[in-house]
Amino acid sequence: MDLVAENLTRSFGRRRVVGPLSFRVAPGRVLGVAGPNGSGKTTLVRTLAGLIRPTTGGVFLEDGDGRRSPRDAADAIGWVAPDLSLYGELTARENLQFFAKLHGRPAAPAWADEAIAGVGLDPARIAATPLHALSTGQRQRIKLVYATLHHPAVLFLDEPSSNLDDAGRAVVARVVAEQRTRGVAVVASNDAGDLALADERVTL
């Protein structure tokens, strides 16, 4: 499934924050979005993910069956961002089981524990802990599981390495590598390590 942006712009009032931008990202490719603070990286990612409507132009997910807007293909999208939160009063395991159910995945506790171990966390310590009691870095890793548990065709990673240590950054690199096998990834960041994961780059 290709990610296509056509003459995409996004404005707030009279202030244009993004665009006009046009690009196509094919499956197996990773697009980097770079730019200083306030340049519109997060707005672009949210617009591409269908969380904000473009002001002009369009965003499409395109395959052999035609093209759909991200809003009509929300099940094909994964998203991680600093302003994304999961449920703090629920445990890591309960959060993952809840979102797995919404995505139609088998949501046994053992699966959730395996997913938690997959991002380098110890399920025996983490799985039954309420999310609000975890560190920011641990929560960031749980968010990576949330974003990928349904094998999205397009994965958006906004500042994916924020609050992560070296082991966490390696997890991000692995997540991006895995995403190449199933579709497109978009990485928006100021971090040179994050942007090095990309094949092509849009600078705002």
Applying CB under 8 A, which residues contact other proteins?
A: 27, 49-51, 53, 71, 74-79, 81, 83-90, 94, 98-99, 101-105, 130, 146, 150-153, 181-183
Give me the sheet containing 2-12, strands edge to edge. 15-25, 2-12, 56-63, 66-68
Determine the Cα–Cα distance for residues 88 and 111; give it in Å rounded to an integer.
20
Residue 62 Cβ, how far from other proteins at the closest point, in Å? 15
Residue number with CB closer to other proteins (38 or 88): 88
Q: Measured from the CB of residue 96, what is the shortest distance to other proteins in angstroms?
A: 12
Question: Residue 47 contacts by C-beta under 8 Å, 6 or more apart in sequence?
Answer: 8, 10, 18, 53, 54, 59
- Which pair of tokens denotes residue 4? 């296509």
Shortest CB 98 distance to other proteins, Å: 5
R_g of the chain computed on alpha carbons: 17
Tokens of 186: 């978009």
- Least distance (Å) from other proteins to the CB of residue 133? 12
Q: Which is nearer to other proteins, 101 or 201 (CB)?
A: 101
Quote the least distance from Cβ 50 to other proteins, whole Å: 8
Q: Please tell me the distance from the alpha carbon of residue 134 to that of residue 188, in angstroms, as a whole number.
A: 25
The strand ranges marked E within 45-192 are 56-63, 66-68, 77-80, 154-158, 184-188
Nearer to other proteins, 46 or 172 (CB): 46
CB nearer to other proteins: pick between 101 and 125: 101
- CA 174 – CA 109 distance, rounded (Å): 23
Closest of 122, 148, 146 to residue 135, by C-alpha: 122
Q: Measured from the CB atom, is 177 or 196 closer to other proteins? A: 177
**Minimal distance, residue 104 CB to other proteins, in Å:** 4
CB of 95 or CB of 161, closer to other proteins: 95
